[in-house]
Amino acid sequence: NPAARRIQGAAGTALQESKEYFRMEQKKLNDILAPALLKLSETDTEILESLHLQAQQYGKLMAYYRSALMELETKFNVMNEEFKLLHDREPIVSMSSRVKKPMSIKQKLERMSLPLSFESLENGLHDIAGLRVVCSFLDDVYMLEKAFLAQDDVTLLKRKDYIASPKENGYRSLHLIVQTPIFLVKEKRVMTAEIQLRTIAMDLWASLEHKMKYKPDKEVTKSTSKELVQCAKIVNKLDNKMMLLNT
């Protein structure tokens, strides 16, 4: 088919031209960079190598934190599955996890007046890895906490019960700072993470409050803040009422 051959020929020519274009652009880039690289002193090279090694170390550490979150999620998934078998319902509605971004880590270290170092990351910050567990009922929160902390490879470092003692803005949640091991190919590492347990109602309030608070074009007034606290109290009453109805 002559028409098909012409199309194939045109396509081949275009591809060859594209390859040549990118080859020329790469050569231009090399020509620009080469003089700068030649001017680098031995000290400059050492600094670049050091930065590269630090980047690798940072990436490895963040991978360890992600692995710790996988371990923790598995623990809660197993408890959820067992509860479903025993009681024909699941206490966990949803789970979400995150590893802090570099800028958030830097800003928190600055607020805590800690140096920007790997030692500060591992020993000074306890919430680089975070897991949020959303439960159906209020008593599910404390049931899961008790079962989780009873596991022999989980160590509780710190506990903050913002359900019993809410923050001034009305925020409620149970926060646990824990350590748990991760098992790598050649070693075992103990990692630290923060776990937040809350009800669906608490999560709804927290999500909406966050959206209102961080609107780029609008500041939350004092009167709105007071109303949000009142809403948090209503949410607490709802949680307690639903828990009683479920018993």
Q: Which two tokens stand for residue 55?
A: 């980047």
Rounded Cα distance, 237 and 81, in Å: 29
Rounded Cα distance, 141 and 197, in Å: 6
Q: Which of 46, 187, 194, 209 is catalytic?
A: 194
What is the per-residue burial (b if ≥16 Cβ within 10 Å, else e) of 160-179? ebbbeebeeebbbbbbbbbe
With contact defined as beta carbons under 8 Å apart, do 116 and 106 qualify? yes
With contact defined as beta carbons under 8 Å apart, do 144 and 92 qualify? yes
Residue type, position 225, single letter: S
With contact defined as beta carbons under 8 Å apart, do 97 and 129 qualify? yes
User: At how many degrees (to 10) do helices 138-149 and 42-87 cross?
Assistant: 110
Residue type, position 210, single letter: H
The number of CA neighbours under 13 Å toward the Cβ of 38 is 6
Q: Which two tokens stand for residue 31?
A: 């020509």
Can 194 be counted among the known catalytic residues? yes
Rounded Cα distance, 99 and 219, in Å: 28
Catalytic residues: 194
